[in-house]
A = this chain, B = another copy of it.
């Protein structure tokens, strides 16, 4: 399966990695958080209430950290990376608000989703508000190239979500089709977040391309691991995940651990295509996956993309930022939540 790094060693490095990156970008991220607080403000009280419920729910701010670290690794000395990072977090938050409506999710990061507290209607509209504010922040940087990258990403993310919707319940979905979905719905924003750090630093196109590749491959690895965790990979539980194990199963989403387990048998047809799910079916699905090693195979795919992400950074001279971004790959792959 091409697993080169022993899992335990990787896991140990991974847990420190995000802390190292967080320490390096701490000062910048304070400024990002300040902008986020300020720009989600509105005279309509429900807007900052709903937005802050999600924004302050303990997310790791991975995507805006990518923008900050990418700008720093390119030697950027200005202040626009702060606004772009805040815009990236707004874009991501808007996506999550809409996703939770689309998926009818009850829990995120161990808390009730905004739609459970304020309703689907407000979640859709506050998502739109944050999208508008995200673009306003980008415009303030006057970086047309960043605007182009992020507006393209916004459309591609939505495209990926629609693809996923269209593929849902389709037990004929291939690994290729699955990969197209996660590249669009997840990796496009990781890629854009990293790329714009190089763009505002006005670096040559090699460095821009390297950071785009780093972000894209990291995002693919991140989503592959996410989909493995949803079926209890790494002994994930609802408590460690902050959401329910088996959500993808109940929503009949076709993710790689399932795609790799497909056989002609009637089980997957019944539970995913026909949606006839009974007591014990999730357990049976998990057993089938264990028998076919599909969780491990999914993680192995993640390691493949993680290696590409790491190697993309080879063109940069060694630095604390470069090392932190390399270690971040381990974190994303070895994470258990």
Contacts and interface: CB of A to CB of B under 8 A. Distances in A.
A94 to B, nearest CB: 8
A166 B122 CA distance: 9
B161 A133 contact: no
Contacts of A151: 132-133, 135-136, 138-139
A264 to B, nearest CB: 27
A212 to B, nearest CB: 17
A326 interface: no
A117 interface: no
Contact of A135 (B42, B125, B154, B156): B154
Nearest to A128: B158
A132 B155 contact: yes
A133 B148 CA distance: 10
A124 interface: yes
Q: Is the interface of A mostly helix, strand, loop or mixed?
A: helix
Number of copies: 2
A42 B128 contact: no
Contact of A47 (B42, B95, B157, B159): B159
Contact of A42 (B101, B127, B133, B159): B159
Contacts of A44: 159, 162-163, 166
A156 B136 contact: no
B144 A158 contact: no
A46 interface: yes
A96 interface: no
Given A44-B162, A136-B155, 10 more contacts: A43-B159, A102-B120, A102-B124, A124-B124, A126-B158, A129-B162, A131-B154, A132-B155, A135-B147, A136-B151
21 contacts: A42-B159, A43-B159, A44-B162, A44-B166, A47-B159, A101-B120, A124-B124, A125-B158, A125-B165, A127-B128, A128-B157, A128-B158, A129-B159, A129-B162, A132-B154, A132-B158, A136-B148, A136-B155, A139-B144, A139-B147, A139-B148
Interface of A: 42-47, 94-95, 98, 101-102, 120-122, 124-129, 131-133, 135-136, 138-140, 142, 144, 147-148, 151-159, 161-163, 165-166
